[in-house]
């Protein structure tokens, strides 16, 4: 192999240095380091102008694709065109897109283990400890409900069906491993250099990468994208880091969490509480103040009261934990939580097997050397302010994803932003990421999909008298025979009377809310009006069709409860 | 002349208490008019009868979607094991229990329709209608009692009923149709479904799904009026999930065997060979005939199409007689869908008695076929788009995808497929969307709106996805058929 490569280079008229590992003193040591840096255990291991190309086959592939010639010609002051810090949804999308555009790209990704010791592979929050495992656990809970419904639809079995947490977690973790692997593969296919190392700026255009063994390498690039995302926040009270878990730990937990206290009222808190209860666990949510802050509060109220009344989740409102104590070790153990009222001197305590903190997330921006190159962050929340092309105050440094100030913390947004950024930086496009009317869905037991403004925000922006709010309860057909409750699924749109009754807010609470909402988001992108809604024929029998027949406005104040059918 | 005209009882008389008729009647009553509805269900050849509400409620969308749901739940029970639920497999299914639950729900809807008519002061007659003259209709009740009604305006909304084959021995005696299947007290057992329309495939789909041995016999093309690539994926999925397909076959005889089972003989039209098998039930789903035969239309002067027997209408839904209208499945050239009939009925009442002059727009009507893998579509099929605009002016974006929930459940997603048919010239207006996968109905509804708002391909691509859903795959359709790139799933 080595000879072939040598021949290739000499045919190109390029000189190369060869280090024969079996002829130097510390050959084995060099090989080990090489494999750390490059993830390649075999030789020959070829570098061109400091860039790792690969083995013999990859060198010939690079020759065929023209990459090799490009690398040889490159006389750039920097090793890379782009270094992306953070291998989550946004970072990977940006890196791959830049590579497609022919650029030399490196991605640094390193998961600092959670205080409980949980860590994971490439792909970031969404794949490992976010959207993917949460939707799968949500699905597990929905299937529990389906089992319950199925008897009403004629399926016959008598046994009490139990849920096995380990089986579920194994299946989900297997899927995640395949996704991690897929990301590795797609980086390799696109010739993006991947380092499983922690990246820190050390000087302008230069980053230090530290791997798990503490080995350091330095790399330079013309441009940088910061996409480090966020990690769950801790309370800062006695016992929290020792005994509590977060969403970083829950999805790979080796044992069923048992009786669980979820602290927080974010969508993460409600989603976790929802599926844990759906799997049959005793779940309490401790809420300091507002449920689903930033979302439409009427929807939040309906969603949480469904969880409380129909789904068996207990809510402790206006309390915050002040201490967590371990009573018994075990899997799970037993914890005592002391909480105090936010409104008075009252304290309460409770005993739980697991305490899950979901009180918010902190940006991973404070320990990556940003101060060394002068990138400004918002000192309060650690977020990075950027302009409308995701550029920080340092012109060659960009930021995308959850660490952006004032932007939605959503995977598809980060992906979109990452791709478009790469195209603007290295392609001919000038398209900017559009952060308006981004749809999203909260996967609580009753799913909540929305796009556009909440009613509160709409009133704030347009004033109440200029709005018309249409709404209705609906009863999914499948729920009738299943004997599930009426008047909990709810549809609402907010229209701007001053602009042809344009739909500026869309909200749906019910099964498959995510699937329903997506198309409506497209319609809102096309400036949907109420009239167009009315003119569109429904698909019968679905839940989505309710939006084509909304007649009752809030201002009329008519009854929207459904009677019978 | 004015003097000899009979006393007109009603401002509006609606013949047919289905989705369209009831919507029209209620809307007219809401506008302050005196309205009557005549509805009568002629028992099916097997003697099945039902209450107020028409096909959709009684023998269509509603019971069909509920039985589809029963079948889906069967799949979920199998999935549940992978997600940690310890349920012993296989789980048996009781038709009797399901049917009773479905029928009870339908009966509650019948009751609800009655109450709604009463609330809106619409007079309801459970009578069979036939025209006496262009303003007068005779109604005959079950007991033979006659009522004569007259009205300024008459709306015919009698819908259609399943067709029986006329040339096949034993078809009428031993076969059933969708009029009967939902009302069976006992399981249909091993079933032969004859037909290739959506009714045939949906019925075969849920019968298979609840564990029955099901065969579909198709003369030529399944889902003829739909996009043919989608159609073949629909049947491919069904075939891989246990539905047996006999293609290019036509039945020639149905015989009852001494033990009560049915022996069906058919001809394989490609080989010319004859074959037989024994079934418990034979379900004809070979099309529907409009209910115009018993209306005595010649007395009213209303003209029908000699081919389809459907009533000829103009864009105002008026028949050849200006004050007589026809809406829904009975009207020539209309999509046979509940929501279009409802909307047409409401708009008609608004035009007749309100200030509105809005016409029903039959373009871009979305629909969903509730086969085991659901198929939702809106706008043009690929074939239609090419026929209208020419191959070189059409760009089709497509992708296979794997629903997240399928991964852990170890389900095969080979047929989960989406395609968006666009004009090729910028801004690449979207002409049609076709979605095959779970919850296709829910996915399609919003996109139907997008298409109504004139969505372009670029606008769809600029819309941020909702993660993780199936519908987000629509806003990620990057590969055009023309590019020849591989549209299959790539890992994640």
- To the nearest whole Å, the CA of B2 is away from the closest chain A CA by 40
Handedness of CA A265, A266, A272, A278 (dihedral sign): positive
- Residue B285, both tokens: 């789903």
- Whether the Cβ atoms of residue A341 and residue A249 lie closer than 8 Å to each other: no
Mutation choice for B interface testing from A122, A154, A476 by most B CBs within 10 A: A154
Answer whether B369 touches A (CB < 8 Å): no
Residue in B86, B98, B365 nearest the CB of A153:
B98
Per-residue pLDDT reduced to its tens digit, B377-394: 999 999 999 999 999 999
Instruction: Give B269 to chain A, closest Cα distance, Å.
Output: 36
Angstrom distance (rounded) from CA B115 to CA B109: 10
User: How far is it, in rounded angstroms, from Cα B82 to Cα B407?
Assistant: 10
Contact present, B235 and B373 (Cβ < 8 Å): no
Chain A residues with CB under 8 Å of B80 CB are 143-144, 146-147, 161
Domains (ranges, CATH) in chain B? 7-162+289-353 (3.50.50.60), 171-286 (3.50.50.60), 373-476 (3.30.390.30)
Is B195 annotated to bind a ligand? Reply is yes
A521-545 average pLDDT score: 95
pLDDT confidence of residue A129: 98
pLDDT in tens, A345-372: 999 999 999 999 999 999 999 999 999 9
Cβ atoms of B135 and B298 closer than 8 Å:
no
Across B289-299, average pLDDT: 95
In this model, does residue B5 exceed pLDDT 50?
no
Instruction: Tell me if A541 and B62 make a contact (CB, 8 A cut-off).
Output: yes
What residues of chain B lie within 8 A of the CB of A267, using their CB?
none
Q: Which of B232, B250, B241 is nearest to B210 (CA)?
A: B241
Q: Do B467 and A521 touch (CB under 8 A)?
A: no
3-state helix, strand, coil in chain B (%, to 5): 35, 25, 40
pLDDT band at B490 (very low <50, low <70, confident <90, very high): low
Choose, from B82, B93, B393, B467, the residue flagged as catalytic. Answer: B467
The closest alpha carbon to A507, from A557, A457, A471, belongs to A471
Q: Read off the tokens for A325.
A: 């104590």
Locate B375 and state its tokens.
């198929």
Q: Is A540 a catalytic residue?
A: yes
In this complex, do B115 and A175 lie within 8 Å of one another by their Cβ atoms? Answer: no
Nearest to B76 among A126, A143, A527 (CB): A143
- Cα A162 from chain centroid? 30
pLDDT digits (tens, 9 = 90+) for A209-241: 999 999 999 999 999 999 999 999 999 999 999
Active-site position among A204, A205, A500, A540: A540
pLDDT at position A45 is: 86
CB contact under 8 A, B475 and A126: no
ipTM over 0.85: yes
Q: Do A163 and B84 touch (CB under 8 A)?
A: yes
Which percentage of chain B shows pLDDT scores above 70? 98
Secondary element (H or E) of residue B124: strand B123-125
C-alpha B41/C-alpha B50 separation (Å) is: 7
Residue A535's contacts (CB-CB under 8 Å, 6 or more residues apart) are B361, B452
B404 → closest Cβ in A135, A527, A543: A135
Put simply, whether A448 touches B (Cβ < 8 Å) is: no
Does B80 contact A143 at a Cβ distance shorter than 8 Å?
yes
Chain-chain contact of B338 with A540 (C-beta, under 8 angstroms): yes
Cβ–Cβ below 8 Å for B472 and A412: yes
A417 near A387, Cβ under 8 Å? Answer: no
Nearest chain B residue to A165 by CA: give it.
Answer: B84
DSSP B142: T
DSSP 8-state code for residue B165: P
Among residues B407, B414, B395, the alpha carbon closest in space to that of B457 is found at B395
Q: Report the run of H or E that residue A441 belongs to, with start and end.
A: strand A440-442
Question: Could you tell me which chain A residue has the CA closest to the CA of B94?
Answer: A154
Question: What whole-number distance in Å separates Cα of residue A515 and Cα of residue B376?
Answer: 12
List chain A residues with CB under 8 Å of B468: 131-132, 135
Asked whether B14 and B155 are in contact (CB, 8 A), the reply is yes
Distance CA A510, CA A488 (A): 8
| Residue A412: closest CA among A82, A186, A131 | A131
Residue A486 sits at the vertex; the CA angle it makes with A480 and A488, to the nearest 5 degrees, is 130
The residues in B 269-288 lying below 8 A from A, measured between CB atoms, are: none
Measured between beta carbons, which residues in chain A are less than 8 angstroms from residue B344?
none
Contacts of residue A149 in chain B, CB cutoff 8 Å? Answer: 73
Range A315-330 average pLDDT? 97
Which residues are within 8 A (CB) of B258 and not within 5 positions of it... i.e. 6 or more apart?
none
Locate B130 and state its tokens.
Answer: 């036939």
- Please tell me which of the candidates A186, A411, A526 has its beta carbon nearest to residue B453: A526
Per-residue pLDDT band at A74 (split at 50, 70, 90): low
Q: Does B296 touch chain A (CB under 8 A)?
A: no
B101 interaction partners in chain A (CB closer than 8 Å): 152-154, 481
The reply to whether omega before B217 is within 30° of 0 (cis) is no
A21-66: pLDDT as tens digits = 888 888 888 888 888 777 788 888 888 877 788 888 888 888 887 7
3-state secondary structure of A24: coil
Look up residue B442 and give its DSSP letter. H
Contact check, Cβ <8 Å, B449/A533: yes
Measure Cα distances from B241 to B233, B235, B409 in Å. 12, 10, 15
* B248 annotated among ligand-binding-site residues: no
Can you name the residues that pair with A357 across neighbouring β-strands? A246, A263
Q: How confident is the model at residue A563 (pLDDT cuts 50, 70, 90)?
A: low
Q: Do B337 and A167 touch (CB under 8 A)?
A: no
Chain A, chain B: beta-carbon pairs less than 8 Å apart: 298
Measured CA to CA, the distance from residue B283 to residue B276 in angstroms comes to 16
How many whole angstroms from its chain centre is CA A31?
A: 37
B contacts of A562 (beta carbons < 8 Å): none
Examine residue A375 and say whether the peptide bond preceding it is cis (omega within 30 degrees of 0). no
pLDDT category at A564 given cuts 50, 70, 90 is very low
Across the interface, which of A439, A512, A563 has its CB nearest the CB of B439?
A512
- Please identify which residue in the block is written with the tokens 């209608």: B129
Structure token digits, residue A440: 């999203």
Q: Can you give the pLDDT at residue A46?
A: 86
The count of other CB atoms within 10 Å of the CB of residue B142 is 10
Cis peptide bond N-terminal to A332, omega within 30: yes
CA B266 to chain centre: 27
Burial classification of residue A435, based on how many CB atoms lie within 10 Å of its CB (0-12 exposed, 13-18 middle, 19 or more buried): middle
- What is the H or E stretch that residue A189 is in? helix A165-189
Give tens-digit pLDDT for B76-90: 999 999 999 999 989
Of B56, B93, B112, the CB nearest to A154: B93
Cα gap B178→A242, rounded to integer Å? 63
* CB proximity A172 to B under 8 Å: yes
pLDDT of residue B6: 47
Q: Which of B446, B470, B485 to mutate to test the interface with A (most CBs of A within 10 A)?
A: B446
Look at the block and give the residue holding tokens 């977060």: A246
- Is residue A204 within 8 A of residue A78, CB to CB? The reply is no
Give the 3-state secondary structure of A264-317: CCCHHHHHHHHHHHHCCCCEEEEECCCCCCCCCHHHHHHHHHHHHHCCCCEEEE
- Report whether A288 contacts A237 (CB < 8 A): no
A17: which 2 tokens?
Answer: 């240095």
Distance, CA of A434 to CA of A436 (rounded, Å): 6
What is the pLDDT averaged over residues B11-37? 97
Report the candidate in B385, B454, B451 with the shortest Cα–Cα distance to residue B421.
B385
Round to whole Å and give the CA distance between B69 and B63. 10
Contact A251, A179 (CB under 8 A): no
pLDDT average, residue stretch B457-483: 94
Which tokens in the block code for residue B490? 């790539």
Helices B95-119 and B19-30: angle between axes, nearest 10 degrees: 20
- Local structure of B318: helix, strand or coil: strand
pLDDT of residue B4: 43
Instruction: Tell me the whole-structure pTM to 2 decimals.
Output: 0.91
A267 is in an annotated binding site: yes
Q: What value, to the nearest 5°, has the Cα angle with vertex A441 and ends A92 and B398? A: 60
Distance CA B379, CA B320 (A): 30
Q: Residue B248 gets which letter from DSSP?
A: T
pLDDT band, very low/low/confident/very high, at A284 (cuts 50, 70, 90): very high
Q: Are strands A448-452 and A440-442 parallel, antiparallel or unpaired?
A: antiparallel
List, for residues B87-142, the tens digit of each pLDDT value: 998 999 999 999 999 999 999 999 999 999 999 999 999 999 999 999 999 999 99
Q: Give me the percent of chain A exceeding a pLDDT of 90.
A: 83
CA pair distance A5, A8, nearest whole angstrom: 5
Q: In Å, how far from its chain's centre is CA A16?
A: 44
pLDDT > 70: percent of chain A: 98
Say if strands B281-284 and B214-218 run parallel, antiparallel, or are unpaired.
unpaired
Taking the C-alpha atoms of residue A232 and residue B237, their distance in angstroms, rounded to an integer, is 43
Q: What is the pLDDT of residues B413-446, one digit of tens each?
A: 999 999 999 999 999 999 999 999 999 999 999 9
Q: Which residue of A has its CA nearest to B211?
A: A155
User: Closest Cα of chain B to A505: distance in Å?
Assistant: 14
Q: What is the pLDDT of residue A76?
A: 66
Task: Confirm or reject contact between B185 and chain A (CB < 8 A).
Answer: no
Tokens for B33, please give them.
Answer: 């008019």
Residue A23 is predicted with a pLDDT of 82
């Amino acid at each position: 192999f080595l000879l072939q490569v040598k021949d290739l280079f000499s045919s190109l008229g390029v000189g190369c240095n060869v280090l024969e590992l079996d002829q130097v003193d510390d050959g084995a040591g060099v090989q080990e380091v090489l494999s750390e840096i490059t993830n390649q255990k075999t030789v020959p291991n070829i570098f061109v102008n400091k860039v790792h190309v690969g083995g013999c086959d990859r060198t010939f592939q690079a020759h065929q694709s023209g990459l090799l010639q490009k690398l040889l010609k490159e006389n750039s002051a920097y090793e890379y065109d782009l270094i992306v810090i953070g291998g989550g949804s946004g970072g990977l999308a940006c890196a791959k897109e830049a590579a497609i555009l022919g650029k030399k790209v490196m991605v640094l990704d390193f998961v600092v283990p959670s205080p409980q010791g949980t860590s994971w592979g490439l792909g970031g929050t969404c794949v490992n400890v976010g959207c993917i495992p949460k939707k799968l656990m949500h699905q597990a809970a929905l299937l529990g409900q389906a089992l319950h419904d199925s008897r009403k639809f004629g399926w016959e079995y008598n046994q009490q069906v139990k849920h096995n947490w380990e089986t579920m977690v194994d299946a989900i973790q297997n899927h995640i491993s395949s996704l991690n692997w897929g990301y590795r593969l797609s980086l390799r296919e696109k010739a993006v250099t991947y380092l499983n190392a922690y990246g820190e700026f050390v000087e302008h255009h230069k980053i230090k990468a530290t791997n798990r063994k503490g080995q350091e390498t330095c790399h330079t690039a013309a441009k940088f994208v910061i996409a480090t995302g966020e990690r769950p926040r801790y309370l800062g009270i006695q016992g929290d880091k020792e005994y509590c878990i977060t969403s970083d730990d829950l999805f790979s937990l080796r044992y069923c969490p048992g009786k669980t206290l979820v602290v927080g009222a974010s969508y993460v808190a409600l989603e976790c509480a929802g599926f844990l209860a759906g799997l049959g666990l005793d779940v309490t949510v401790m809420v300091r103040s507002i449920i689903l802050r930033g979302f439409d509060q009427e929807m939040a109220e309906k969603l949480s009261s469904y969880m409380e009344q129909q789904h068996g989740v207990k809510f402790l409102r206006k309390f915050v934990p002040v201490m967590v104590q371990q009573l018994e070790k075990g899997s799970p153990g037993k914890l005592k939580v002391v909480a105090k009222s936010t409104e008075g001197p009252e304290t309460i305590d409770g005993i739980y097997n697991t305490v899950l903190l979901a009180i918010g997330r902190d940006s991973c921006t404070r320990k990556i050397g940003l101060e060394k190159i002068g990138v400004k962050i918002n000192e309060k929340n650690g977020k990075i302010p950027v302009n409308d092309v995701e550029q920080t105050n340092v012109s060659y440094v960009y930021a995308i994803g959850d660490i952006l100030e004032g932007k939605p913390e959503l995977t598809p947004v980060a992906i979109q932003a990452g791709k478009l950024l790469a195209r603007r930086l290295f392609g001919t496009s000038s398209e900017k990421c559009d952060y308006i009317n981004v749809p999203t869905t909260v996967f609580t037991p009753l799913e909540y999909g929305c796009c556009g403004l909440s009613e509160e925000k709409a009133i704030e922006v347009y004033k109440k008298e200029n709005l018309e709010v249409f709404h209705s309860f609906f009863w999914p057909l499948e729920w009738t025979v299943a004997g599930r409750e009426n008047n909990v699924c709810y549809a609402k749109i907010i229209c701007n009377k001053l602009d042809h009754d344009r739909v500026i807010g869309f909200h749906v609470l019910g099964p498959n809310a995510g699937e329903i909402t997506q198309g409506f988001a497209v319609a809102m992108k096309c400036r949907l009006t109420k009239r167009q809604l009315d003119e569109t024929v429904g698909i019968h029998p679905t839940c989505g069709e309710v939006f084509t027949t909304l007649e009752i406005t809030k201002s009329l104040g008519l009854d929207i409860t459904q009677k019978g059918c | 002349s004015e003097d000899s005209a009979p006393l007109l009882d009603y401002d509006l008389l609606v013949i047919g208490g289905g989705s369209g008729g009831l919507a029209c009647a209620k809307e007219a009553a809401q506008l302050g008019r005196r309205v009557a509805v005549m509805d009568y269900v002629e028992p099916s050849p097997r003697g099945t009868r039902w209450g107020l509400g028409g096909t959709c409620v009684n023998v269509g969308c509603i019971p069909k979607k509920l039985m589809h749901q029963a079948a889906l739940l069967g799949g979920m029970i199998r999935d549940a094991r992978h997600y940690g639920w310890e349920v012993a497999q296989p789980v048996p299914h009781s038709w009797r229990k399901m049917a009773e639950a479905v029928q009870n729900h339908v009966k509650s809807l019948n009751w609800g329709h009655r109450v709604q008519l009463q609330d809106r002061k619409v007079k309801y007659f459970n009578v069979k209608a036939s025209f006496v003259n262009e303003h007068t209709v005779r109604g005959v009740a079950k007991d033979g009692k006659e009522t004569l009604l007259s009205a300024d305006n008459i709306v015919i909304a009698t819908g259609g009923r399943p067709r029986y084959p006329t040339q096949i021995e034993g078809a009428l005696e031993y076969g059933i149709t969708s009029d009967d299947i939902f009302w069976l007290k006992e399981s249909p057992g091993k079933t032969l479904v004859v037909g290739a329309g959506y009714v045939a495939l949906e019925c075969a789909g849920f019968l298979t799904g609840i564990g029955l041995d099901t065969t579909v016999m198709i003369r030529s093309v399944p889902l003829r009026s739909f996009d043919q690539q989608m159609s073949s994926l629909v049947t491919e999925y069904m075939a891989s999930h246990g539905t047996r397909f006999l293609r290019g076959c036509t039945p020639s005889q149905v015989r009852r065997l001494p033990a009560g089972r049915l022996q069906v003989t058919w001809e394989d039209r490609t080989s010319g060979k004859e074959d037989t098998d024994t079934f418990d039930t034979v379900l004809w789903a070979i099309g529907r005939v409009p209910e115009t035969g018993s209306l005595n239309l010649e007395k009213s002067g209303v003209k029908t199409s000699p081919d389809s027997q459907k009533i000829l209408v103009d864009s105002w839904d008026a028949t050849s007689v200006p004050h007589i209208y026809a809406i829904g499945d009975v009207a020539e050239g209309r999509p046979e869908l509940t929501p279009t009939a409802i909307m047409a009925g409401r708009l008609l009442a608004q035009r007749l008695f309100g200030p509105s002059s809005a016409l029903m727009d039959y373009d871009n009507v979305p629909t969903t076929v509730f086969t085991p893998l659901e198929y939702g579509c809106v706008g043009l099929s690929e074939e239609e788009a090419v026929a209208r605009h020419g191959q070189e002016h059409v760009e089709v974006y497509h992708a296979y995808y794997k629903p997240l929930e399928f991964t852990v459940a170890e389900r095969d997603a080979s047929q989960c497929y989406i395609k968006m048919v666009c004009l090729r010239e910028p801004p690449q207006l979207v002409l049609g969307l076709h979605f095959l996968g779970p919850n296709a109905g829910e996915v399609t509804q919003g996109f139907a709106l997008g298409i109504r708002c004139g969505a372009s391909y670029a606008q769809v691509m600029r819309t941020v996805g909702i993660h993780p859903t199936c519908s987000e795959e629509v806003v990620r359709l990057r590969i055009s058929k023309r590019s020849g790139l591989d549209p299959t799933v790539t890992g994640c």
